[in-house]
Amino acid sequence: MARQQAAQRPSGVGRNGRRESAPLLFEPELAVRAIVFHLVDEGIAAQVSDDSIRASVVRLRRTSVRPTVEQSVWSEMTNPQRLEWLMEKTQTASRLINGEVSILEPATDK
């Protein structure tokens, strides 16, 4: 259930009273929350630094990063693929310190 709530679903009703399939929109706060969720859920980190979470949200707001993905594409992804997609689209990297705490930081070009 928490995984399904990780993305905002903009509302929209079609002609037949059915919900249209709108893209999932990840505002900065939601994108970072989703990254944190997947890092912990996948066992990559036990926790994520609060300071790096705040700094990542500020960076994404400042650069106006708001990734979107079609619901059908998102639903076909595995959780590791979702994490990879989120990290790529937000240009975010994680670094593990002390064996359990992850630090989020801007990704560097390789």
- Tell me the pairing of strands 92-97 and 24-25: unpaired
Smallest CA-to-CA distance from 87 within 39, 23, 22 is with 39
Q: What is the pLDDT of residue 14?
A: 46
Cβ burial, residue 45 (10 Å; 0-12/13-18/19+):
buried
Q: What is the mean pLDDT of residues 74-102?
A: 95
Q: How does pLDDT run across 21-61, given as a tens digit for each residue?
A: 789 999 999 999 999 999 999 999 999 999 999 999 999 99
Look at the chain and count its residues. 110
Q: What is the pTM (predicted TM-score) of this model?
A: 0.80
96 confidence band (pLDDT: 50, 70, 90): very high
